[in-house]
Each structure stands twice: as C-alpha cells, then as structure tokens.
A and B are shown apart, each in its own frame.
Chain A
C-alpha cells in the first residue's frame, strides 16, 4: 500500500562530482571558524580556568560567590526572555498578515519590518535615547495627556523596548517561513468541521507554527543575551548585563581571566535555556498528540 515516491530526491547525475567532494566545500568555512572562533574560545576558556597559569576555579567562585554578579546573570536571562516574548507577541500578528499573499500593501509592511536592520545598532539606540530620555518624546507625551511618568532611559524596561525593536525582524522572518508552509485548506477544513476562528488558531495554526516559534525564539533569545550596544547605550551602568560585564572586566579592569569566565558562563547559560526551551516546545507538540 505505502509505495510513497520520494519526490525529486533522486540525485541528478550531473551533481555527483559535487556530492563526492561535499566535505571539501566546507573547508574554507571550517578554517575560518577554527581560526577566528574555536581557537579564541579555547584560549579564553583555558584562561578562565587557569588565571595564574595553573588550574583553578577561582574566577567561577568569584562570580557565583558575589550576589551582584549573580544578579547580572539573572538580569541578562530575564531581559532576553521578556524580549523574546515581546517579539513573539508583536511579531506573530505581523507574520500572519505577511503570510497572506493576497494582502494589499504587503511589500510596504515587509519593508517596515526589515527597515530597522538597515540602520546600525548605535544609531537605533540613540534614537531610543531621544524617545525614552528625561525630556524625551515618550515622557512629554504621557505628561501632556495627564499621565505623569518618569523616563525609561537607563531602566530595564527601556532596554527591553529597544531590544524588542532591534530583534523583531528575526522573529517575524522565522514565523512567516513557518506560516507559509501551512496548507491554506487546513484552516478551511477545520472551519467546515465546526471550528471558529479561535479554535482554528489554537488547534491548527499555532501547533503547526511551533517550529517557527521555536526557531525565532532561540534566535532572538541568543541575540538579546549577547547584545552589547543596545543595553550599554540605553541601559548603561544602571542596567548591567553580561556582555557589559565582559566589556568592563576585559577592557576597563583588564581582568582577562574573569572576563573570560563571564563570557563562558553567558554562553553556557544561553545554551542551557535555549536547549530546555526547544525540548519543552517539542515535547509539548508531541504530548498534544497523545492526550485526547
């Protein structure tokens, strides 16, 4: 019964030369990464474990023994998580809009979503300083309509707003890709079987976009956790995050072993969070299939 044909999977004869040498095709990239990424990572990892030439956990004890450093790690994770959530909430409707090819003005919205990526992070951050600052547009607007509020510059909320703006395109692109793969007749099939708009979304569209949600979230979380320019300019010393700590310890204090340790802790923490998140999403998707 199941004589499924693997569509177009037959290797074209003309490609055999390229297939044989597939390993060779990756050599330039591998060399590049080995020299400029892996080797420095090995060096700084070694440096963090051997601050004075011999093996010790001194730098890590210093980091985890100090409440301030622990709070910085926690803040970095918190800011990244909230930013991810914000981009997801704001980005999903945009992605739904963009995945509907028949929409008029679609290309304009694509441009508006992508536009922030044309501007450097520094310029964008200065833009947010003007908006969020003490006499900025946001606080004067709120005050003028009778809602007194302070300014958001040098606050965690300000950093999250700016990061959300910066990383929204990544989330939208990941979600559009996954939404466009959904066969439009699935939504109609659900409708004619009695599902209203909410049910169509929750039972069909959302589960089928979980891979896109997962990919977009991992990208945004990692970028937000490792972002330096935006937190440094919008948050400054009042909102210290891990990359800021690396910068301060490495370039201002010149404590390279400790800076290396902070960088490695950030790397491991980010990897852990994204791994747990990805597994949770995948697990949730498969559980849904078992529970009636």
Chain B
C-alpha cells in the first residue's frame, strides 16, 4: 500500500503537557482516516500539525513523498472543513466556494464552472447567491464541504465536521459525506470524538489516547477486536473481568474469573497469564443456552434504552451488564436471572498495569 499521507513520529508539547507523543499513521490515496479519541487526546493538535497551523517539536509530515513540515499552510495544497464551518460571512455561497480557486489563479470561466459543479455535488445548486447566514446548519456544512472539495486538494482535513448538526441530520450527513468523499477519491483525515461517526465514515480509524496512538485499524477490526481496555471501552464494551488463564479446551482458552470458568477466544495467551476478559453487552442473551458461558445472578438495575433494556446482574461480588431486547425482558430488580454468551464473543485483553487502567477509567468518564 503506497502511503499518500505519511505522518511520522510527531511530538508536540506545551510545557509539561505532551499533546502528541510519537504519533505515526499513514493514509493511502483516496483513503478516509478517522482520528478518534476523547477530548484532550491530541486529535485536533494532530490535525493542526498536518494543516501547518502548528509546527511539531519532532517528526515529519510527508505528502506524495515530499516532507512538508516546514511548508506554510497556504502552500500545502490541502483543504479543511472546520467545526464551525468558518464560512466567510461577507461572501455569498458562490464566492466562498470560489475562494480557493481564485487563490490558485484559475481562470474565471473555469472557476464559475467548477463552483457550480461543486455546489451540485453537495446538492446546493440553486443557493449560490445566498449568504451563509441565510442557510441552515446542514446547508452551511455542505457549503464548507464544497469549498474544500472544489480545489481538489491533495489531502482533505475535516475537524469534527458534523458535531454542530442535530442528531438526525448528523446521521444522514455522515453517510452522504462518505459517498461524496469516496466518489471524489480524495485522501481525507477526519477528526471526531464520536465512535459511531468514525465507524460509519472511515476506512481506517486511528484511536488516540493521551497523545499516543492506542490502536490503528479498520472500523470492523477496531469494533470486533479491540486490542486494549481503552479501545474496548471506547467501542462500547462495558464488561471487564480480571482473570487468570488456566488452560485451553476445544480451541478456546479457559479463564478463571469471579463468575467462575469462562471460555474465551484464543489470542496470544498462555496458561498462567493474568488477563482481562471483555464482553460486549449486546452479545449477552437471556437464558442458559446461547453459548458456552453462562452466569446466574441477581438483577440489581434495569434501564430502558429504547430497543433494549440494560440489565445489571450481580453474582459473586462481580457485575455484568447485558442489553436484552425489551420484548424478551420481564425481569424486575431483585429477580434471579441467567444469561449466556458464546466463547467467540469473549475477548481476552492484556491485563494492564495500574497506570493504564486509570486512563481507561478516564475514557469511561468521558464517554458517560
């Protein structure tokens, strides 16, 4: 895979605070990479370094084989969509979109044509004469996208592009945006704190925590196979149980936990390892026969979440959170309930040292 954008070992510190600590990632031509993480993880700093608004203390940014870390922003041939869109309030939609083309000294005939094409691409063909303040939030977002796309940048940067839209519009726009970016085949780096947005719109996700890359993988892999407790928590895994690997059986590892022996998928663990077992709440089913692992305990809380009820079960002093479809769930607090889940959905993560689990709980606070 040839890297179109190659970010190598970036470091940026503000006094004692290290915003970026040895951050590297690459993006292939036309690939959409999401920089995902909680606030303060360094993702916006990283985007500003790529754009050239900040210079890193160490490291390089390479585009098309050229080191551009000392090149000023206006010569980087990039484009950016800002969180608040940053549309020029004194210019009409057309002039906003034409701005980057004029800066590139493109003839006025071509400017007019490309502006019209870009506006049609984002379905705003008829609104060229309007001013930004006359548009709705969603329309402003599209203008910002058109203004960035029209220059055909070598790299497109998106800073929380959908965070100012309401929930319904956001869901629609993230799919639409992915389609537009894919059809334009532009290498894109999108910053977001919303894991769902990253999963839907990106080809690859770089998960950042405290200025470091926690995991860099495809959305599917990050969701299904998180490699650390932080990644798992950020991807909505709610159940973490400490345990010890006591053996292997029929292709599964057997782990001794507070809930007794649990079977888990095998991945790089040897007998005697201290590990953390991670289980996603939606993979747990009511009843005793949905998989190799079964727990019976007392229901201590039950919350309505729309399609599911989030049930918390306590057994042997440990707790388990399960999302049970509302129709199947009649349990009340105090009832005894059995739940089960397959070994395939039971992930084994390295048991982390105290410092790392503090970060994981910090991530949990951010998510709640």
Chain A residues whose CB sits within 8 angstroms of the CB of B95 once the complex forms? 289, 292
Chain A residues whose CB sits within 8 angstroms of the CB of B53 once the complex forms? 188, 191-192
Count, chain A residues at interface, CB 8 A: 25
Which residues of A, 233-292, contact B by the 8 Å Cβ criterion?
285, 288-289, 292
Interface presence of B325 (CB below 8 A):
no
Interface presence of A20 (CB below 8 A):
no
> DSSP majority for the A interface?
helix
Interface presence of B302 (CB below 8 A):
no
Min CB distance B7 to A, Å, is: 17
With most chain B CB atoms within 10 A of its CB, the pick from A4, A193, A204, A207 is: A193
Stretch at the interface among B75-83, B227-235, B251-259: B75-83
Partner of B90, one of A193, A196, A208: A208
Bitwise interface map of A from 193 to 209 toward B, beta carbon under 8 Å scored 1, else 0: 11110010001100110
Asked if A196 and B74 make an inter-chain contact with CB atoms under 8 angstroms apart, the answer reads yes
Who on chain A is nearest to B99 by CB? A193
Complex Cα distance, B127 from A1, in Å, reads 13
Interface presence of B86 (CB below 8 A):
yes
Min CB distance A202 to B, Å, is: 12
Asked if B73 and A191 make an inter-chain contact with CB atoms under 8 angstroms apart, the answer reads yes
Interface presence of B167 (CB below 8 A):
no
Chain A residues whose CB sits within 8 angstroms of the CB of B52 once the complex forms? 192
Asked if A207 and B90 make an inter-chain contact with CB atoms under 8 angstroms apart, the answer reads yes
Asked if A183 and B100 make an inter-chain contact with CB atoms under 8 angstroms apart, the answer reads no
Interface presence of A189 (CB below 8 A):
yes
Asked if A193 and B147 make an inter-chain contact with CB atoms under 8 angstroms apart, the answer reads yes
Bitwise interface map of A from 51 to 69 toward B, beta carbon under 8 Å scored 1, else 0: 0000000000000000000
Who on chain A is nearest to B76 by CB? A192
Interface presence of B104 (CB below 8 A):
yes
Given A185-B82, A188-B53, A188-B73, decide whether A194 and B100 contact each other with a Cβ distance below 8 A.
yes
Asked if B80 and A208 make an inter-chain contact with CB atoms under 8 angstroms apart, the answer reads no
Interface presence of B368 (CB below 8 A):
no
Chain A residues whose CB sits within 8 angstroms of the CB of B90 once the complex forms? 207-208, 285, 288-289
Which residues of A, 172-224, contact B by the 8 Å Cβ criterion?
183, 185-186, 188-196, 199, 203-204, 207-208
4 tightest A-B CB contacts, nearest first: A194-B103, A193-B100, A189-B86, A185-B86
23 A–B contacts from the bound complex (CB under 8 Å): A2-B135, A183-B86, A185-B84, A185-B86, A186-B86, A188-B73, A188-B86, A189-B82, A190-B103, A191-B53, A191-B74, A192-B52, A192-B53, A192-B78, A192-B79, A192-B80, A192-B157, A193-B79, A193-B148, A195-B74, A285-B90, A292-B108, A292-B112
